A and B are shown apart, each in its own frame.
Chain A
Amino acid sequence: MTQSRSHSKLRVASAQAVVFAAVGLLLFWLFAITGAELRARGIETGFGFLFEPARTAIANAPFTFTPGVNSNALALIAGGLNTLKISALVIVLATVLGLGLGLGRLSRNRLLRGVCLGYIELVRNVPVLIHISLCYAVALSLPGPRETAPFMGALITNRGFFLPYPAPDMLWLASALTGVLAALGVARWRRHGGRWHPGALVFVLLTLAAMALPWLLLGRAPEMVTPAVAGFRVNGGWSLSPELIAIVAALTLYTATFLGEIIRGAIQSVPRGQWEATEALALPLRTVRRSVIYPQAIRVALPALSNEYIGVIKNSSLAVVIGYQEIVGIGNTVLFDTGQAVEVMAVLAAFFVVVSLAFSALMNFLNTRTAWASRT
């Protein structure tokens, strides 16, 4: 017995050694060949290039970026910020749309169920890249700035969307303050109040009324900065480029179908017994959903949702096909400027791995917050 165990131990140890040697040899081979190849092409190795000035300008930089002055590292940071910007926008918008689709699929209204199912099947069976190209083609086929009329202060043109935004005005601050105070007050009432339970609509209306109060008292609306057409250009307003709109719209429309199916599945995964218990207790449907079903569904959905969100961060790299400069696009530019393929790829890979891991950690934290002791 002991002999055969030591024999098999020896075998395992030798197998380990073989694996170790194989991995080592492979790495050595890669480094040796690569080193020779790079020397032959006259490419220096190392990360020194990061601190050299960048040669190419960046469209859609999130801050002023001057090629020849700012470094390659700063260019990559700009790209990283753009990646995160796209991802954050898409995650928020797609979650809202996905929630609508998921709940719509479970609606009692047959038409709504059908519309949601049709949308989901139609959109998710087409590659996201086609959606991006289509959205971009649509964004470019909009009328030019001079052929369009402002809609509620916003200009929607083939040069992008130009939206009004609040000007610095103390009235906005006052309005926000009364709104928050009113919301907190109503929430407090709801928690500790007696017979009267204000519903969601009353909640929103009261908050809005409180926000309008300072306007009424002062007798004027707060100021907005609105875009205006000047020649072929548009001045003022919050501008969104056609590229950004196309990538955010396409990723949102596409991702929402997957989120919707996850949310539907999670709600359906809540055991029938839970529904029956709420029926036996005569709970109103709104309470059933909000207090019993949704909290349990969220816990089921969270791991799958976080996978999907990480997928959004990775898919945002596809913005490169329509020329929106996020980290992969800029990495590609830096690569062609410097020839440092291995290093640039290492930076890109590290960025995505780190962002994915950080996001997973965040989701795990949320998961433990929503977790409860499991029944056995």
Chain B
Amino acid sequence: MKKTFSYKMNIFLFLLPALLLFIGVLIAPIFLSAYYGFMNKKGAGGAETWIGFANYTEIFTSTSLGFGKALGNSLLLALFSVGIQLPLALVLALKLGKGVRGERGFLSVYFMPVLISTVVIGQLWLKIYNPDYGILNQFLRSIGLGDWLNQKIGVWGTRAAWLSKTNPLALAACFVPILWQYVGYHMLLMYAGVKSVPKDLLEAAQLDGCTEGQVNRFIIIPYIKPILKVSVIFAVTGSLKSFDLIYVLMGQDKNPCDVPSTLMIRMLFSAKRYGMGSAIAVMLILLCFAFALLINIVFKDKEVR
């Protein structure tokens, strides 16, 4: 019997479809990306010439490419994500996790935006930000801020547009839907963590006269630290990789809200510079990896203390 279950040919055949997909689409392209990153390659069938680190030097030095600005934007998003989105998610998770009426209902509603297509969300927020008929401007006018909006027309362009390229608040306007959409995701992870805290631990603390704040601070938050770490990693790497909503809200052309991924796609589409596109992809992966490592170290430090 043993023999039948460890017959090499069968094992190989069972693994074959998964391996083909996995190596062909996930593993090999990583190496290809690294390879193309050292190439000057124009167009899919175009000639390849080895140019060493030239793409990377251009990424770091060229101002016309705008990688520095794009990276800055995504790091700012990461900062907002960790500073606003995660605390909000944590507060919601702590409240829900301790049991309130309608707990499941709240949970499901909070998580719902995560499942909606980012294109749909982007188009919806485009409508919300619409200068004439968007509910944001209609709301501002209805509470008497119409004059303020009118003043901004000269600076921001037509009828005070939130997403215009000259509006310094455009970046913030892009961040709002991104942060809004994923609060529920982080909340769900943290909620699962809060639920996993042993009940007797909480009861003991309560018998000792701990207030709710103390229970949160000294028992639940330390207990769910591994999950908080995962959330922070996701928030930071997710911000670095952000693409969909910025692309939908700001369009394909060069704009002040660019992030590395939109640059990468532009290298493919408009510039046909595949080598440079690959180099940006490699930078992104390395950055995500480095930040994940860094966050791991920071959290480990705290555990020792």
Chains A and B come from one and the same complex? no
Residues of A participating in the B interface, judged by any CB pair closer than 8 Å: none
